[in-house]
Structure 1
Amino acid sequence: MPVIFVNYRSGDEEFTATLVERELSRRFGDEKVFRASKSISPGSNFPQELLTAVRRCSVLLAVIGPRWLAARSADGGPALADPEDWIRREILEAFDTDAVVIPVLVGKAARLKREELPSDLEELADCQYRRLNHRNVESDLSRLAEDLGRIVPELAAAAPEGQHERSSREDAPQKVINHLQRGGIGNVKGDFTGTFVSEPQGPVHTGSGHLYQAGAQHLAPQISGDGIQIGYVGDNHGTMNQERGGARPSDGER
């Protein structure tokens, strides 16, 4: 049985409605989200299926774009004032069954005002809305899904795809791996992530910061009289120069 009913007007953000439905279906399960063109099978009684779904839903999402209010009926009047307009009928049915109605404003669609709506739809302007912007579509969809999970306990129990797998990895006990790797410096991934240095000869630097090689003229330990500069050269088939204070090498010397 659907829990979420996606209400939208053809010619006004129907692609966004499809995006919303697909993301919520991925998170909560395909059977939890109703969108007419997806959920009504060929040959089914369209009005009956539509009204049955909206009567059974807990939440109706009214997807509203910039052209939503301007839509006209066949006689040229406002579509929302037409008793046969399906957008109007679905929203009124949701109000009658005490479903939660959430306007989803897309892009620059303005917040609804009571005076812009037919009298029997004025309540829609008072419903707290959510906004969906293409620049923040991932975070906006995540926020909407989190809202729905709080509103409907049944949805809260349906964890987002992959969450159980991530949790099991995070909660798993850490393994201690003893492994002999001869030669070289490298990275280890998998059950262990980090940097290994096998059988080092001389000092090794694995922290953050710059690593410098000394020229031939510095092939000896160097310690200044005041202890501020320390130059050290090992025999690790390369050199490491650490400095405290003093001039840093220019970009051309790095």
Structure 2
Amino acid sequence: MPDIFVNYRTIDEDTGATLIERELSRRFGSERVFRASKSIKAGRRFPQELLTAVRRSSVLVAVIGDRWADARGADGRRALDDPEDWTRREIVEAFESGALVVPVLIGRATRLNRRDLPPELVELADCQYRRLDTRNAEADLARLGDDLAEALPQLAEAERQISRIEAESDDVAGSRVGRVDGGVVQAGDYHHQQDGGASNVSNSGTFINTANGPLHTGSGDQNNEIRNGGPVTFNGDGGSYVERGRAQQWFGGGHRSDREQ
């Protein structure tokens, strides 16, 4: 179940709620952040889903824009005055369950006035708010995330776990390998600045870059002489080389194998 419930009025700040949910999901994990249009699966009964999620959440983020207090229902009444209004019900449920309620005011002009609230929601005006301004969105979202991580230790731990997983993924794919103690070096992981020739990759063996001639990776001497159109000969303990478009291997003692390149 989620730790964070994002409460919003669709006709007021659907975009702001989406922005907040996506940033908190990035930091803490999508499964920890509930937003109705994202989290309720097709065919599920939304009244039960909403009430269950808000009752089990540790914090409710109330997203409030400049139309939040004055929005009207289908009957023409102010929505906040309707006990069945879902935005209102979710906040009331959060207060009753003991959740932390954080109002997030969208834009610089939005205000939260006790006189505009029904008695059941007056407590909302006493909650310390945060502000989200599109001109300062990155810093405002970071501050909100920091506040929630400080208030809920499980969110701070979830963020640390996500950071560790991302760091491990970066190490496996696309990272530069400076030293390899055995094992396999992936071509996409090893970056070599030398153009052509051969060099040693720590204990993994020989790295050959842009080979244009016969190659020998054994410990003995190499003789590149071509005798009567025949193969290259070696005096060492074996290795691999290229001759006339064919990949050749020589293992010493006169044994040699050929394979089409």
Normalising by structure 1, we get a TM-score of 0.64
Q: Which residue of 1 aligns with 2:79?
A: 79
Q: Which residue of 1 aligns with 2:56?
A: 56
Q: Is the 8 A contact 1:27 1:160 kept in 2?
A: no
1:119-130 matches, cutoff 5 A: 119-130=119-130
**What amino acid maps onto 1:88 in structure 2?**
R
Give runs of ≥4 in structure 1 deviating > 4 Å: 165-169
Q: Distance in 1 between matches of 2:154 and 2:6?
A: 17
Measured after TM superposition, the shift of residue 11 of structure 1 is 1.2
Measured after TM superposition, the shift of residue 110 of structure 1 is 2.6
SS at 2:158's partner residue?
Answer: coil
Question: What do the CA deviations read for 1:20-46 (whole angstroms, capped 9, x no partner)?
Answer: 111111110111000001100011011
Question: What do the CA deviations read for 1:61-110 (whole angstroms, capped 9, x no partner)?
Answer: 00001111110122222110101100000000000000000000001343
Q: Is the 8 A contact 2:63 2:103 kept in 1?
A: yes
SS at 2:60's partner residue?
Answer: strand
Q: Which residue of 2 aligns with 1:144?
A: 144
Instruction: Give the total of aligned pairs.
Output: 177
Measured after TM superposition, the shift of residue 160 of structure 1 is 6.1
State whether structure 2 residue 21 is matched by structure 1 residue 21.
yes
**What amino acid maps onto 1:12 in structure 2?**
D
Identity of aligned residues (%): 64
Q: Which residue of 2 aligns with 1:235?
A: none
Q: Is the 8 A contact 1:111 1:125 kept in 2?
A: no
Q: Which residue of 2 aligns with 1:159?
A: 159
Moved more, 30-39 or 107-116: 107-116
Q: Distance in 2 between matches of 1:161 and 1:135?
A: 31
SS at 1:26's partner residue?
Answer: helix
Structure-2 change in CA distance of 1:66 and 1:83 (3 Å):
same
Q: Distance in 1 between matches of 2:30 and 2:167?
A: 21
SS at 1:140's partner residue?
Answer: helix
Q: Distance in 2 between matches of 1:107 and 1:55?
A: 29
SS at 1:48's partner residue?
Answer: helix
Structure-2 change in CA distance of 1:180 and 1:127 (3 Å):
closer
Structure-2 change in CA distance of 1:143 and 1:160 (3 Å):
farther
Structure-2 change in CA distance of 1:83 and 1:160 (3 Å):
same
Q: Which residue of 2 aligns with 1:12?
A: 12
Q: Distance in 1 between matches of 2:193 and 2:127?
A: 64
Question: What do the CA deviations read for 1:108-154 (whole angstroms, capped 9, x no partner)?
Answer: 34331111100111000000000001111111111100000011111
**What amino acid maps onto 1:138 in structure 2?**
E
State whether structure 2 residue 110 is matched by structure 1 residue 107.
no
Normalising by structure 2, we get a TM-score of 0.62
Structure-2 change in CA distance of 1:145 and 1:76 (3 Å):
same
Q: Distance in 2 between matches of 1:103 and 1:86?
A: 16
Q: Which residue of 2 aligns with 1:118?
A: 118
Q: Is the 8 A contact 1:5 1:34 kept in 2?
A: yes
Gapped regions of structure 1 (runs ≥ 5):
170-174, 182-254
Q: Which residue of 1 aligns with 2:134?
A: 134
Q: Is the 8 A contact 2:95 2:101 kept in 1?
A: yes
1:84-233 matches, cutoff 5 A: 84-159=84-159, 163-164=163-164
Q: Which residue of 1 aligns with 2:37?
A: 37
**What amino acid maps onto 2:81 in structure 1?**
A
Moved more, 147-156 or 75-84: 75-84
SS at 2:101's partner residue?
Answer: strand
Gapped regions of structure 2 (runs ≥ 5):
171-177, 180-191, 195-261
**What amino acid maps onto 1:77 in structure 2?**
R
Question: What do the CA deviations read for 1:189-233 (whole angstroms, capped 9, x no partner)?
Answer: xxxxxxxxxxxxxxxxxxxxxxxxxxxxxxxxxxxxxxxxxxxxx
Measured after TM superposition, the shift of residue 159 of structure 1 is 1.9
